[in-house]
Structures are given as structure tokens and as C-alpha cells.
Chain A
Amino acid sequence: MVLHARRVAFTLALGYLVPTLLAAQESTTVGGYGEIQYVNPSGPGTPATLDVRRFVIYLAHTFSDRLSLRSEVEIEDAKIESSSPLGEVALEQLVFDYRLADRFTLRSGLLLVPIGIINETHEPPTFNGVDRPAFDHDVLPTTWREIGVGAVGMLPIEGWSYRLYLLNGLVAAGFADADGIREGRQEGQAATFANPSLTGRLDWVRPGLRVGASFWYGGSTAGDTALGSGSFDAPVTVLSADGRYDQGPLAVRAVFAYVSVADAEAINTRYGTAVGSRIAGGYGEAAVNLLYWIAPASTQRLNAFVRHERYDTQARVPAGTIRDRAFARRLTTLGLTYKPTWNTAFKGDYQIVRNAAGTAPSEVLSLGIGYQF
């Protein structure tokens, strides 16, 4: 190949060549993720099912170098029909970002609560196991999104970054014994702002390592004066810590969370529920990439992993509520994740499900396909 180089004056050349790269053009990006699952629980009366669990279309638009929009529309369980309890179409996020500086972005819209790992990063190739950890359903109510405003950015000290949002609050009427605060989410639908809530996250990052701490604090009365008339009455506090270590063939992650429902007694009396006053637990997971040794030059991955989850949605119950030990759950998941590319995954796992009451022990075999782009 014969190449001809032409020298141009520095200022002139930079004047027309580089700025086109530095200034973002108005543009629209389409992306998405999805997962198909085969789930086969042990025992009679629980037949195996195949499900297009999630199909998500991702649409983003850059309005200017500073203002951008990001959205995710999700179809769950392939379709919605009035005859079936399954199926959902939902907006998972709708985020306006106004980038003021490298260290400060103003964010508004339907935002993902920045707690734990899976809530913000839930694309199937990013986690091992066919389904998301059960902990990220029953303790941290993934995908938890609410409407509000906040700020995101990096701190002046390298390695530290933050997010801080003011969002609409939870609704205590939805709280339950088995999945805690999950159905108290408003998810951007005719949400009440009776209980403005604060949530945030602090991250510390080194190559291969990320450690984060996150919180939520806010009332949950949703205007029901039986629980109090103050904005912060019937408060819910969530504290969580998470870590991810990724080095060579090894990938380790762990999450812990503690949820306090301070007025659980009043909530249970008012709504006839049995929500725990304390919900707590976590999980640890270790994975090794077997191809690291079998095919060192390959960019593919074959992860063998084991995850242990342990949590209790009635770790403590208020007076008048009888504690059910079946809500103290232990799940061990063993499996393989084959990733021909970093953004596709073929998964298989075997899950052993137990609880402290010793009721309904079960084993579940799952297979799945997941992608993102």
C-alpha cells in the first residue's frame, strides 16, 4: 500500500480535523438485551417451562455534547394476554443526562436506584446463572426504578465516584412477608411524591476491583395518615455493600444488604400483612474462566461458578407478627456460563433451594441464552 502524507499547519489542521471528533453530533443509538430460559424444578406438579423471560429495546439519543437521553423498554414473558397472569410491558428507565463537567452530570427522569450490583447492571451476559440471584428479587427489589433528580460524577480523588438522587418514595401498602419492600415500588406509574426519598452510592475502583456502598432512606406512607402525616413517616432504610474482583481467570462478587422497616407493626396492622421489621442477607459468588488454561489465546470465556445466597425477609418481626422461618432462605447455585463474545452468554445451572423451616426443599435445573448489544 502506497500512502502519501501531506503536512498541514498545526493550527489549521486541528481547526477542522479534531473538533469533529470532540463535539458529539446529534445521533440516535439502538441497542438491547434479552434472555430465554428453560427452568425445570424438581418434584411433581412443577413441570419445566420455556420462557422468553425478557426482551428489552434500548433507545438513546444524543441531543448535544451535553444533553442526552437513554431509555429501556421491556417485554417480559413474550406477550401479554388477559387470560395469563404473566407478561408485562414496562419502561425500565428513561433518563435525561445533562453533562456539566467531567465530574458532574445532572440526571433526571425514571432512574435506576443505585443499590447493589444487579439493579443497575442487569444485562444477562454480565452475571452468571440463568436467572438473576433470588436475593436481587426478594431483598433488593430489582429492577428498582423511581422518578426524580440527582447528580452523578467522579470525585477529584482518582478511583472514587458517586451518585446521589432524590426520588419518589416507596408505598408501604405493597410490602409483604416473602419479598419485603418489592411491591412497594412505584416504577414511574402515577407515582406519589408524598415521601421524597434519598438514595446514593459511592464507588471505589481499581483495575480489576470495584467496591461500593449504597443507601436508601425515605418514608412510605404514600399519604395514608394512618401511618403518619410527615414526609418521612414509616421510614425505610436500606444499607448495602458490594464488591467485584476480576483478575485473570478469576471473578468474585459479593453483595450484602440490610433493610429496616421502622414502622412494620403499624404497617402490618393497617394492611393485614406480615412484613419483617428487618430484612437482611447477601450472597457471594466465585467463578473461574476454564478457557484461561485450555485455550489461552482465546477471547471466549467458559465460567464455572458457584454462588451461595442467604437471606431472611423476616430477619426480625414487629410485635404481633409471628415469624415464619420459611422466609429464611438459602440457595446454592452451581453452573457454567459460556461466552463466545463478551456480550453473549449460554448458561446452565443447578440450584439447591432450602429454608430454615425445612419446608419445600427443591432443586432447579435451568438453561438459558442471554445477549446485549
Chain B
Amino acid sequence: MAGAVARALILLFGVATLVSRASGQSAPPAKVSASLRRVFAAGARADTLVIGSDSVLRVTRGDSLLGYAVVRNVKGKDQPITFLVAMDAGDRLKDVDILVYRESYGGEVAYEAWRRQFRGKSASDPLQVGRDIHTISGATISVNAVTLGVRRALAQLVEWHRSGALR
């Protein structure tokens, strides 16, 4: 029995290593530009504005400004959650995208049905779990962390935009 289990374990890790090599590490910037295309539709182009120690992606199509986006990390239970917050040119939240989720529980924050709740929000909306954002049972930590991260990112984007730092 012990031999069989050992063989099964070796096989499992062998397969795991192969799968890992085959899928490889996707180039991070590709992940961000794919996300921007998803949020702002195909044809969107982005360049980067540096504001202090932050960087903001300015998204355009042709001559027209579509909006801005930032990539941020928040801590979940013990792993960082990497997400993108996009705002349209009228200071409304365009979309939230989860770029990398590493936690063992709570990955449901990446679900379209949950992220959809953020669309159209403005900096004056509460953006609070249990008020205008529904929670996900069993994913409380991730839900609270991402919601807080989105609220802060949107507030910053709006402030930078209104102060003229973003053009």
C-alpha cells in the first residue's frame, strides 16, 4: 500500500511539473494589456503616466481619451491580490479586473457577477461591503480587501484627474 501511494505521489508531482512548464509564466504586461482590451474594447492603446511613485495607464483610441487605469496589490489573507481598476473619462468606474489571485480561498472575487457591481460607481458612492457591494460568503477577506483597494484607487484617480495631474 505504502509503495502504491509513493508511486502515486511521484506521478502526481511529475505531471504537475510538466503542466507547469507547458503553461509557463505568461509575460505580465501582456496580462495587463489583455485586461485593458477587455475593459475598453479592442483598439484601445495605453501609455503610462508617472505620478510621484505611482504609475497610471492612460487609455486612448485614436484621438479620443477613453479613461485611466491603475494596477494595484492588496493583501488577502496572506497573499497579494493583483487587480486593475479602470475609470472612464467622466470619472466613473469602468471596471475592475482581477489579474492574479494567489489565495487558497476566495477566488470568487474574480467572478464577473461580483465585479459587475462596481461598474458606473463614482467616488461619492459608498463602495462598502454590505451596503452597495454584496459580499460573497466564504470569501469575506478577499471581498473586503478588494473593495477597499478599489475605493482607494478610484478616489486617487478622480483626485488626480480633477487636479489636472492626469491629462
Contact = CB atoms under 8 A, between A and B. Distances in A.
Interface string A1-25: 1011111111101110111011110
Contact of A205 (B23, B49, B101, B108): B108
B73 interface: yes
A361 interface: no
Contacts of A105: 104
Contacts of B49: 5-8
Interface in B22-49: 23, 25, 28-29, 31-33, 45-49
Most buried by A among B23, B28, B130, B137: B137
B166 A244 contact: no
A166 B8 CA distance: 11
A97 B90 CA distance: 42
A186 B2 CA distance: 17
Given A7-B48, A244-B138, A247-B134, A149 B12 contact: yes
Contacts of B165: 3-5
A334 interface: no
B41 to A, nearest CB: 18
B28 A22 contact: yes
Given A65-B25, A100-B19, A5 B166 contact: yes
B116 to A, nearest CB: 8
Contacts of B25: 65
Contacts of A205: 108, 111, 136-139
B78 A29 contact: yes
A191 to B, nearest CB: 12
Nearest to A58: B78
- Chain A's interface size range is 35 or more
A24 B78 contact: no
A207 interface: yes
Interface string B46-74: 11111110011010000000000001110
B79 A62 contact: yes
B167 interface: yes
Contact of A3 (B1, B13, B20, B160): B160
Contacts, number: 181
Nearest to A301: B130
B140 interface: yes
Given A14-B32, A158-B113, A24 B80 contact: yes
A159 B48 contact: no
A159 B164 CA distance: 41
Given A8-B50, A23-B28, A158 B112 contact: yes
Interface string B1-17: 11001001100110010
Given A3-B165, A149-B9, A244-B138, A8 B47 contact: yes
Nearest to B137: A244
B122 interface: no
A128 B85 CA distance: 34
Most buried by A among B78, B80, B128: B78
Nearest to B12: A149
A3 B163 CA distance: 8
Interface in B106-120: 107-108, 110-114, 117
A6 B77 CA distance: 35
A210 B16 contact: no
Given A158-B113, A207-B117, 8 more contacts: A4-B51, A7-B50, A11-B29, A31-B77, A65-B25, A68-B79, A205-B136, A247-B134
5 contacts: A8-B49, A22-B99, A97-B104, A100-B16, A161-B108
Interface of A: 1, 3-11, 13-15, 17-19, 21-24, 29, 31, 58, 60, 62, 65-66, 68, 70, 95, 97-102, 104-107, 117, 120-121, 126, 149, 152, 154, 158-159, 161, 166, 193-194, 196, 203, 205-210, 231, 244-248, 253, 289, 297, 299, 301, 342
